[in-house]
Each structure stands twice: as C-alpha cells, then as structure tokens.
Amino acid sequence: MILYVVDQWSKYVIRTNPDLHRLTLIDGWLSFNFTKNPGMALGITWADTWIISLVAIVATFAIIYYISRTMKEANTGYLVCMGLIIGGALGNITDRIFMARIMDYGSWLDGHVVDFIHFTLEIGSYRVFPYIFNVADMGISIAIFSLLIFGKWILPHDKPKEKSSSTSASATDSSEESTAPSPASSSTSATASAASASRPADSAGNEDTELPVSESGQNDRKTNDEV
C-alpha cells in the first residue's frame, strides 16, 4: 500500500504541475520528463490499450491468487517482494482504468500510464537507459531482481518438509521392525525351553531305575558268598 500511495501521489504532482514536466534534477544524469505510455513496460505496444489493460488486470489477480496459496510457507522477504509487485501493478492499473477519463482523452481501460523519471546518462553517443518510468516500475523492478538474486532464501519451499516427514516415517517403520520378534528367534527359544524342561525328568528317571538294580546286585553277591 505504501508503494501504491507514493506512486499515485508522485504522478498527480507531476501531472498537475507543468513546471515539472521538463525538469533537470542532476545535469547529465537524472531529470523529469512527463510522458504517457499507452503500452506495457519499456514502451512495448503489441495491441490496443484496452486489451493491454485487461491483460494487466488478469495478470495482477493471478499474482494475488498465487500469493494467497503460498502464504503458509512465506517469509518476510517474500512478502515484501510480492507487496512491491502488487503495489506497483495496482498503481499502473489505476492509470489504465481511470487516466483516460481524468484527462478526457478516452474511455475506461484506455488510460495511459504516467511516466516521468528519466536517466539521461550517456556514454559517448550511447544512452545508458533511454526508457522513462515511474515509482511503480521501480518497485516492481526491485522486487523482481531481489527474487532472481536471493530466490534461494526468499521463495517458499515445500520439498524439505516432505523429505523430513518421509525420513521420520521410515525411521519409525524401521524401529518397529527392530522391536518385533522374528519367527526364527521365537522358534529357537521355544525349542531351548522345551529341551531344558525335559532334562530334569530324564535325570530323575535314571536315578529311580539305577537304585533297584544296584541293591539287587548286592543281594546276589551276598547269597553267592554264603553258599
């Protein structure tokens, strides 16, 4: 909203003050040069003004919809850049919708965007930046360059969260598998317990059968000796 207000205020001041239509601020560098742009950025005109206005309006609403879908993952830098883009787009759309009616040269959507900032720097006979722009264009350009340079840190990302969730899920599955007893170990332990349970019974049985045999053997020896 701040960019939008500053853009509309600056256009109003330049448009209503003829002394500012042609004004040198820094000789050889910067000046005010009041113009009306019927086309898109950089003066590109590929269709009638009302068609370009409709395309700009649709594009602005598409950007607003995209921002609404990415608000959960948005950070401060991303919101600032998108705010500059939306504020600048709305500033230029306001000119396209109303300026023709305000200046009485056309109907709705026939408005021309007010441009006035002009870099006049020349190297030899070459103009460094020959295009005239406004405050809204400055905000949009700053946001786009910031997203291109710092997009790795500014743009919202969903993939790391998905990877972390899948990693935790796999770790949980592996821990459950490690805690569950395997069939082989359970069968081995069952066999061992059965064997340990049968061993005392065998030993007890052997002791019971050996005692009578030993006593009878001693009796037989005594009778043989008496005879």
pLDDT digits (tens, 9 = 90+) for 110-140: 999 999 999 999 988 888 988 999 999 999 9
Looking up tokens 């609404």, which residue turns up?
Answer: 68
Tokens of 171: 């770790």
Of 140, 141, 128, 111, the residue nearest 39 (C-alpha) = 111
Residue reference for tokens 């950070």: 75
Mean pLDDT of 165-176: 52
The two most distant CA atoms of the chain are separated, in Å, by 159
CB-based contacts of 200, cutoff 8 Å, min separation 6: none
CA 7 to CA 12: how far, in whole Å? 9
CB 37 within 8 A of CB 26: no
pLDDT digits (tens, 9 = 90+) for 14-36: 999 999 999 999 999 999 999 99
- Gap between the Cα atoms of 14 and 11, Å rounded: 5
Greater pLDDT, 183 or 6: 6
Task: List Cβ neighbours of 117 (8 Å cut-off, separation of 6 or more).
Answer: 30, 32, 132, 133, 134, 135, 138
Q: Which pTM does this prediction carry?
A: 0.67
pLDDT for 39 equals: 86
Closest by CA position to 84, among listed 30, 3, 151, 180? 3
Answer yes or no: are the C-beta atoms of 170 and 121 closer than 8 Å: no
| Domain range annotation of the chain | 2-156
Residue 28's region, left for phi above 0, alpha for psi from -120 to 50, else beta, is: left
Give the whole-angstrom CA distance, residue 160 versus residue 149.
21
Which residues are catalytically annotated?
104, 137
- Portion of the chain with pLDDT greater than 70, in percent: 69
Q: What percent of the chain has pLDDT over 90?
A: 52
Sign of CA dihedral 44, 46, 49, 54: negative
Q: How many CA atoms lie within 13 A of 198 on its CB side?
A: 6
For residue 35, what are its two tokens?
Answer: 């113009």
